[in-house]
Amino acid sequence: MSGRAFYALDTRARAANSPAFTARYRVTDSVFLRACRREPVPYTPIWIMRQAGRYQPEYRAIRSKVSFVELCKNPDLACEVTLLPVEQLGVDAAILFADILLVLEPLGIGFEFTKDDGPNIPHPVRTAADVDRIVEDIHAADSLGYVMESVKRIRAGLNGKVPLIGFAGAPFTLASYAIEGGGSKNYPKTKQFMLTDEGLWNALMRKLSRAIADYLNAQIAAGAQAVQLFDSWIGALSPADYARYVQPHMKSIFDSLTPGIPTIHFGTGNPALYPLMKAAGGTTIGVDWRVDLGTTWDLLGHDVGIMGNMDPAALIAPREVLKRRADEVLASAGGRNGHIFNLGHGVFPEVTVDAVRALVDHVHEASAR
């Protein structure tokens, strides 16, 4: 496609959902994948972390019948909830419906979701014997075969409309669950583990990293067109500790991934880590709302893409405030190639579907070029 034809596109045909758009561009030319490659786009692509979830009445209806883990393990239902926000909101990418904790099962660590408290790891990893017992090679294509089946069904269901993002949890974030036994505020046991026996910590991180790379490559082989690594709780670390205890493991994952597939490296909580995260890998860095996106991008350099970073709270603010906040993010990105609009972290369950739809429409319209 010539650049001129791309830009000459009628405004009304610009929304990724419009038949005119899908008829005209193959999915390799999708706005999202183009932004991943830092190529020019007719408008800024947007997707929303946790775009399938409890804020949707349809999701809540499905969840009233099956548990969260059952939902993750049922490819028909996982496919249904993955496609829902694509149809409902007009976002520019789908994200596989699954959870970062699923990989703990084939690793032999295990997990459960309790009714009120969220994730629980009944047998936390605390000793050398615990690390020793962790499975060396998980063969994700088989042990997490239900995820690969979901990926295949989602790709078929999307039928080229928008690309599919696969994902996994990053090793520090996964280790924090495995060691604490669940969610945590200060990560005391994780840090005690890390600071007490560096060799054992590295052994644990190596096993997790190997499994994560295998899992992501299996998702790519099944049809995921981009992958995101969620290091949601990495902000608990200082830059020096990140560089010493985490960065080499992150780098080993990025170095093991199937070449040519866009990789989003997402982290929250400590802006000082972003340059170190970039050095570890990722074609796009996902940043939270605690930073100014443009300033952070200047600091990282424009040889990497950036994703983010509206405060999720803007979606529960009055509509004019929501639009102003979206405009501020777009202005901060300055229309540069390589910006993917997202929230700085997951959408709140309190948000209405109408508000998210208004955001998606506004970003498409306000960023049209």
Under the rule (CB under 6 A), what is the footprint of ligand CP3?
49-54, 63, 68, 95, 97, 99-101, 118-119, 167, 183, 230, 232, 346
63 is catalytic: yes
12 is catalytic: no
Q: CA-CA-CA-CA torsion for 30, 31, 37, 40, nearest 10 degrees?
A: 130
Determine contact, residues 161/91, Cβ cutoff 8 Å.
Answer: no
Q: Which residues contact 240 (CB under 8 A, 6 or more apart)?
A: none
Joined together, the tokens standing for residue 235 give: 């902000």
CA distance 284 to 302: 10
Phi/psi for 231 (5° steps) reads -110, 65
For ligand CP3, the closer of residues 42 and 225 by Cβ is 225
For ligand CP3, the closer of residues 53 and 338 by Cβ is 53
For ligand CP3, the closer of residues 120 and 202 by Cβ is 120
The active-site residue, picked from 25, 43, 59, 177, is: 177
Q: What angle separates helix 353-366 from helix 75-89, to the nearest 10 degrees?
A: 60
User: If we measure between CA atoms, which residue out of 177, 205, 167 comes closest to residue 105?
Assistant: 177
Q: How far is the CB of 164 from ligand CP3 (least distance, A)?
A: 11
For ligand CP3, the closer of residues 95 and 363 by Cβ is 95
Whole-angstrom Cα Rg for the chain: 20
50 is catalytic: yes
The active-site residue, picked from 37, 54, 206, 290, is: 54
The active-site residue, picked from 99, 130, 292, 311, is: 99
b/e string for 32-47 if b means 16 or more Cβ within 10 A?
Answer: bbbbbbbeebbbbbbb
b/e string for 140-170 if b means 16 or more Cβ within 10 A?
Answer: bbebbeebbbbbebbbebbeebbbbbbbbbb
For ligand CP3, the closer of residues 52 and 293 by Cβ is 52
Q: How far is the CB of 344 from ligand CP3 (least distance, A)?
A: 11
Determine contact, residues 202/137, Cβ cutoff 8 Å.
Answer: no
Q: How far is the CB of 220 from ligand CP3 (least distance, A)?
A: 16
User: If we measure between CA atoms, which residue out of 79, 78, 49 comes closest to residue 66?
Assistant: 78
99 is catalytic: yes
Side-chain-side CA neighbours of residue 271 (13 Å): 14
Q: How far is the CB of 346 from ligand CP3 (least distance, A)?
A: 4
Q: How far is the CB of 350 from ligand CP3 (least distance, A)?
A: 12
Q: How far is the CB of 51 from ligand CP3 (least distance, A)?
A: 5
14 is catalytic: no
* Residue spans of beta strands (DSSP E) within the chain: 94-95, 112-114, 118-120, 164-169, 226-231, 263-267, 284-286, 305-310, 339-343
For ligand CP3, the closer of residues 51 and 190 by Cβ is 51
Adjacent-strand bridge partners of 7: none
Q: How far is the CB of 336 from ligand CP3 (least distance, A)?
A: 25
Q: How far is the CB of 302 from ligand CP3 (least distance, A)?
A: 26
For ligand CP3, the closer of residues 101 and 246 by Cβ is 101
> β-strand 112-114 against 164-169: which pairing, if any?
unpaired
For ligand CP3, the closer of residues 49 and 314 by Cβ is 49
Determine contact, residues 219/147, Cβ cutoff 8 Å.
Answer: yes
CA distance 338 to 304: 7
Residues annotated as catalytic are: 50, 54, 63, 99, 177
